[in-house]
A and B are shown apart, each in its own frame.
Chain A
Amino acid sequence: MAEELIQVDLKGKEGAIRVRSKVSLWLKRGIPLLILAILALLPVFQIVEGTLNYWIHMLMYVFLYVIMSSSWNIIGGFAGYVSLGHNVFFALGAYFAGMLFLATRISPFISAPVAGLLAMGFGLLFGLIALRTRGSTFIISTIALVLLMAELFDNWKLTGGTNGLALPLIDLPGQFAKIPYYYYLLVVMVLCVVASYFIKHSKFGLALRAISQDETKAEVAGIPTRKYKILAFGLSGLFIGVAGAVWGSYLTYLRPSIFLTVSLGTSIVLNTILGGKGTIAGPVVGTAIMIAVNEFVVAKLGATELNIVVTGLILIFVLLFFPEGIVGSLKARNKLPSFLDWD
């Protein structure tokens, strides 16, 4: 009798645990999917109501930066090679698609994937040279790349020099004009984050993580470190190039001072570090927080540049208490809410 009772009790307990794990699994997948569904449906409200243009613009801004941070994470987070020049891919994508449009009227929506491949090819080439170096030398070489490209685009007639290039507006009423760009960036962002998940969990990703910890050991274990680093650097340019093509067309003007600044390249890195480099959710969380805070301060205090002070302070304080970024440190302490654990 007693035994039976115990067994029933045990079954009950096991059942409860099973139910709990089912619920947590549902939350883990459900909340991100719910957010995604809301993001996907938002333009419908814009079409009906027509009052969401500001929100759509802000979200596109977030999508863009998530694409850049998440891509940067492949080489900077997984492999540990900090590049401050990833905005060069952004510029290349934008200029390629823009110039192609002006010359042939091929829509950037069509040429964007090609722009991505071009950016990736450029990344492979640059990686071939720059990834002979490590540590601070590598970082400086990526800053040099940005400065070099800025100089080139500032003075090149073909790209319009400092005046840049003007692109025509999309042929849609203002109420709907942002929507195609919005969906394009949303899809690219999802692809980018999913790709970074699969890269992290592949043998290639394992190798990149080994490289970030100890390159000599990694080499002894049989990893072709140089090949993998170059490949990672190239891959990290792919989605940024695509996003560049779309964003350039959205802005309707391309100028080196928009795309080729060291501060843009740095903010990609800072957003990722704030969220947690090397994690999948980190770039998304970091970017969303940074942009939200920045926008909030600008909206409340106006264009006083106090936003830079505030975001700087946030970065300092977060990294004091979350040295591995928000997602990374919470995970290390086992306090990460399951819906943010995308690893």
Chain B
Amino acid sequence: MGTLVVENVVAGYGSGPNILKGLSLTVESGKAYCIIGPNGAGKSTLIKVIAGLLKPREGKIFFKGEDITPLRADQVLQRGLCYVPSDRSLFPDMTVKENLRMGGFVMRDTRKVDERIDELFAQFPILKEKSSQMAKTLSGGQQQLAAIARAMVLKPEMIMLDEPSLGLSPKVVQQIFGTITTLRDQGLTILLVEQNARKGLQIADMGVVLDLGTNSFEAPACDVLNDPRIQELYLGKRHQAVAAEECK
């Protein structure tokens, strides 16, 4: 029994076609999952459905045994399942600290929120340095960090990240992935959607390959990374040797 169980989910936008076509997935507690797949496979849609931003047409989602399918996004948040959207979703005209406060909005005790923010500032010193600057003045990588920290204010058990590397330089991507690894090591369950499949799989325990709305392949990240089909499809052949080498 996993922490998060997705059962036969069918979902799509408005009156459009089904994007997810009966997808099932089980996420084990304390592990990092990386979802890869071509454009249009439904990676982001899956995350939105889990986060409560999009109601599935069919199927159910369980978090820690509770059916969270009918819950609103903020209720899902309160259960300890946080989501960092691909656009980072900070409030541009609020300071970094105010943005973090927004992350703890559903908590009643504002003093606890402030304590939690101090803890996060200790973990991410760069954010402390920029705490009274408007979020829009931060660099892309700093904004991504702030978005992750904002999701962390609620002390979630699981965090979902939609394309954290989007629009960032390789060096910054490295830092962000380092942060994600640290979070995993602290016991957080992680669900990661990545276009940068190789990078994503390198830091993940498990790899999930989506293909046209169904879960076509699920295996330990190393196996996915080394699977010849995957290499051909998503990683490009020339990475084969490199990938095998990097995977322990």
A and B associate in one complex: yes
In the assembled complex, how far is the CB of residue B247 from the closest CB belonging to chain A, in whole angstroms? 36
- Docked complex Cα distance between A218 and B89 (Å): 10
Given that A203-B105, A222-B105, A222-B106 are known contacts, is A217 also in contact with B74, CB under 8 Å in the complex?
Answer: no
- Docked complex Cα distance between A156 and B53 (Å): 49
Q: Which of B77, B91, B110 contacts A217 (CB 8 A)?
A: B91
Which residue numbers of B lie inside 8 Å of A, CB to CB? Answer: 53, 73-74, 77-78, 83, 89, 91-94, 98, 101-103, 105-106, 110
Question: Could you tell me if A220 and B73 are in contact, using CB atoms closer than 8 angstroms?
Answer: yes
**Set of chain A residues within 8 Å of B74, measured between Cβ atoms:** 219-223
Question: Could you tell me if A222 and B91 are in contact, using CB atoms closer than 8 angstroms?
Answer: no
**Set of chain A residues within 8 Å of B98, measured between Cβ atoms:** 206, 209
In the complex, A214 has a CB within 8 A of chain B: yes
Question: Could you tell me if A206 and B92 are in contact, using CB atoms closer than 8 angstroms?
Answer: no
Count residues of A near B (Cβ-Cβ below 8 Å).
Answer: 14
- Shortest Cβ-Cβ A-B pairs, 5 listed: A222-B74, A222-B106, A213-B91, A220-B73, A222-B105
Tally A-B pairs: CB < 8 A. Answer: 46
**Set of chain A residues within 8 Å of B103, measured between Cβ atoms:** 221
* CB nearest to B134 among chain A residues: A332
**Set of chain B residues within 8 Å of A207, measured between Cβ atoms:** 105
**Set of chain A residues within 8 Å of B93, measured between Cβ atoms:** 209, 213
Question: Could you tell me if B102 and A206 are in contact, using CB atoms closer than 8 angstroms?
Answer: yes
- Docked complex Cα distance between A164 and B94 (Å): 47
- A203-245: CB near B (< 8 Å → 1, else 0) gives 1001101100110011111110000000000000000000000
12 A-B residue pairings within 8 Å (CB atoms): A203-B101, A206-B98, A206-B101, A206-B102, A209-B91, A209-B94, A213-B92, A220-B89, A221-B103, A221-B106, A222-B77, A222-B105
* CB nearest to B75 among chain A residues: A222
- Docked complex Cα distance between A255 and B198 (Å): 74
Question: Could you tell me if B91 and A223 are in contact, using CB atoms closer than 8 angstroms?
Answer: no
Question: Could you tell me if A223 and B73 are in contact, using CB atoms closer than 8 angstroms?
Answer: no
**Set of chain A residues within 8 Å of B92, measured between Cβ atoms:** 213
In the assembled complex, how far is the CB of residue B159 from the closest CB belonging to chain A, in whole angstroms? 15
- Docked complex Cα distance between A140 and B49 (Å): 36
Question: Could you tell me if B102 and A210 are in contact, using CB atoms closer than 8 angstroms?
Answer: yes
**Set of chain A residues within 8 Å of B101, measured between Cβ atoms:** 203, 206
- Docked complex Cα distance between A173 and B63 (Å): 75
**Set of chain A residues within 8 Å of B94, measured between Cβ atoms:** 206, 209-210, 213
- Docked complex Cα distance between A230 and B87 (Å): 29
In the assembled complex, how far is the CB of residue A299 from the closest CB belonging to chain B, in whole angstroms? 40
- Docked complex Cα distance between A219 and B76 (Å): 12
- A180-221: CB near B (< 8 Å → 1, else 0) gives 000000000000000000000001001101100110011111
Question: Could you tell me if A210 and B91 are in contact, using CB atoms closer than 8 angstroms?
Answer: yes
- Docked complex Cα distance between A67 and B208 (Å): 59
- Docked complex Cα distance between A140 and B78 (Å): 37
Most chain B CB within a 10 A radius of its CB, from A203, A207, A218, A221: A221
* CB nearest to A223 among chain B residues: B105
In the assembled complex, how far is the CB of residue A113 from the closest CB belonging to chain B, in whole angstroms? 30
